[in-house]
């Protein structure tokens, strides 16, 4: 298995999130991760509607089929359930599929395979089968994405045993988490965010992994803990920037992975600050905010000095029109306002 060797080599360096070095766009970081994986392991395949077209899934897959062949990098029929099942069956038999979708909304068509099959077989087969597959999709926001092209569905999947859910926010993480996801022997769903995909950042060359299930401090401070992933934690970081003159300091924790959830880093911080704000791109009700809020209330109650707060989406479908959309989504100012209220 080439993955073990490659990743052990990278782990031995204990790479931090680097501040200096080669700068890549988020999309190029993902492209590089896929190219490295395809080059490393002949069992890796990349598929999805449009992966071979000139736009190449926002540029993430552009040209890969020319280097690695159309047997391994291929466009698919629009059969989300069927193809997710195909990926599952291939993964059960030694292939490592990376199945890309423009939007998580399309994954709703594949829930039968995701929830009842891919995530269940390892357990159902008493450990005899592994399902090393990666599903990637980019959450949309703005410009009329609306109710059916903007859904951040991670909350719907949190309660599915056997799944892993990854939500990167930086180019460094996007590459390292993609490689870790491909190397992992379980079904891993990566939910990218279209707005994070505009970012640039320092990305080392070669193979490295960002471990699944481990959060990271983006900032440290004393007044409160802010946890989240992806575009939400990016907005929260910007909100702290807006408040830089206020003297407020916070632990800003990018969870990177929602499942498995790094409970330890959350509890460690809350026991220090006594206050927590959870931010998420999905709905507040029954989602990531609700789950983490409940966990903190359950396990850190005696450390809490204020009620748990959350900023996600209200229980409303996403409107397509610009004005309504602005009212729906939390922005930097709204997050900064809540932080000020809490401190």
Which residues make up the interface to other proteins (CB under 8 A)?
Answer: 43, 45, 71-72, 76-77, 79, 81-95, 112-113, 116-117, 121-132, 161-162, 164, 185-186, 260
User: Residue 195 and residue 168: Cα distance in Å, rounded?
Assistant: 11
Q: How far is the CB of 105 from other proteins (least distance, A)?
A: 17
Q: How far is the CB of 200 from other proteins (least distance, A)?
A: 34
**Identity of the residue, 31 or 117, whose beta carbon is nearer to other proteins in the bound complex:** 117
**Identity of the residue, 81 or 242, whose beta carbon is nearer to other proteins in the bound complex:** 81
Phi, psi of 252 (to 5 degrees): -105, 115
The dihedral sign for the CA sequence 195, 200, 202, 208: positive
The dihedral sign for the CA sequence 327, 328, 333, 339: positive
CB atoms within 10 A of CB 91: 25
Q: How many residues does the chain have?
A: 343
Distance of CA 135 to the CA centre of its chain: 11
User: Residue 175 and residue 170: Cα distance in Å, rounded?
Assistant: 9
**Identity of the residue, 85 or 211, whose beta carbon is nearer to other proteins in the bound complex:** 85
Q: How far is the CB of 110 from other proteins (least distance, A)?
A: 9
**Identity of the residue, 130 or 303, whose beta carbon is nearer to other proteins in the bound complex:** 130
**Identity of the residue, 43 or 237, whose beta carbon is nearer to other proteins in the bound complex:** 43
Judging by DSSP bridges, how do beta strands 134-139 and 96-101 pair with one another? Answer: parallel
Question: Within 13 Å, how many C-alpha atoms sit on residue 243's CB side?
Answer: 25
DSSP letter at 217? E
DSSP letter at 109? G
* Distances from the Cα of 216 to the Cα of 212, 292, 328, angstroms: 11, 16, 28
Catalytic residue among 31, 65, 117, 149: 149
Active-site residue, 101 included: no
Q: How far is the CB of 46 from other proteins (least distance, A)?
A: 12
Is the bond preceding residue 260 a cis peptide, omega within 30 degrees? yes
Contact 328, 319 (CB under 8 A): yes
**Identity of the residue, 17 or 130, whose beta carbon is nearer to other proteins in the bound complex:** 130
User: Residue 227 and residue 250: Cα distance in Å, rounded?
Assistant: 10
User: Residue 163 and residue 180: Cα distance in Å, rounded?
Assistant: 14
- Residues marked as catalytic: 149
């Amino acid at each position: 298995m080439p993955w073990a060797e490659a990743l052990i080599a990278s782990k031995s360096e204990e790479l931090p999130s680097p501040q200096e070095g080669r700068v890549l766009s988020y999309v190029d970081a993902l492209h590089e991760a896929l190219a490295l994986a395809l080059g490393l392991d002949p069992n890796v395949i990349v598929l999805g509607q449009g992966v071979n077209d000139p736009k190449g899934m926002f540029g993430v897959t552009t040209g890969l089929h020319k280097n690695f062949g159309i047997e391994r990098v291929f466009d698919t029929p629009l059969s989300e359930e069927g193809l997710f099942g195909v990926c599952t069956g291939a993964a059960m038999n030694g292939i490592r599929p990376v199945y890309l979708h423009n939007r998580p909304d399309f994954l709703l068509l594949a829930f039968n395979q995701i929830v009842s099959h891919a995530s269940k077989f390892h357990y159902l087969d008493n450990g005899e089968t592994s399902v090393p597959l990666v599903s990637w999709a980019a959450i949309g926001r703005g410009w009329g994405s609306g109710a059916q092209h903007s859904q951040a569905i991670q909350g719907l999947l949190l309660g599915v045993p056997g799944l892993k859910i990854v939500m990167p926010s930086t180019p460094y993480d996007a590459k390292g988490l993609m490689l870790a996801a491909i190397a992992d022997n379980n079904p891993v769903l990566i939910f990218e965010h279209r707005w994070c995909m505009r970012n640039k950042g320092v990305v080392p060359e070669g193979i490295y992994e960002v471990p699944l299930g481990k959060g990271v401090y983006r900032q440290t401070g004393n007044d409160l803990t802010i946890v989240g992933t992806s575009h939400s934690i990016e907005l929260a970081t910007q909100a702290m920037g807006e408040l830089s003159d206020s003297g407020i300091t916070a632990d800003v924790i990018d969870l990177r992975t929602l499942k498995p959830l790094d409970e330890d880093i959350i509890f460690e911080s809350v026991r220090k600050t006594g206050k927590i704000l959870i931010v998420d791109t999905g709905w507040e009700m029954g989602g990531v905010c609700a789950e983490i809020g409940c966990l903190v209330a359950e396990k850190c109650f005696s450390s809490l000095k204020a009620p748990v707060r959350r900023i996600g989406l209200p229980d409303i479908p996403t409107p397509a029109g610009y004005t309504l959309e602005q009212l729906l989504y939390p922005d930097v100012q709204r997050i900064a306002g809540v932080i000020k209220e809490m401190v």
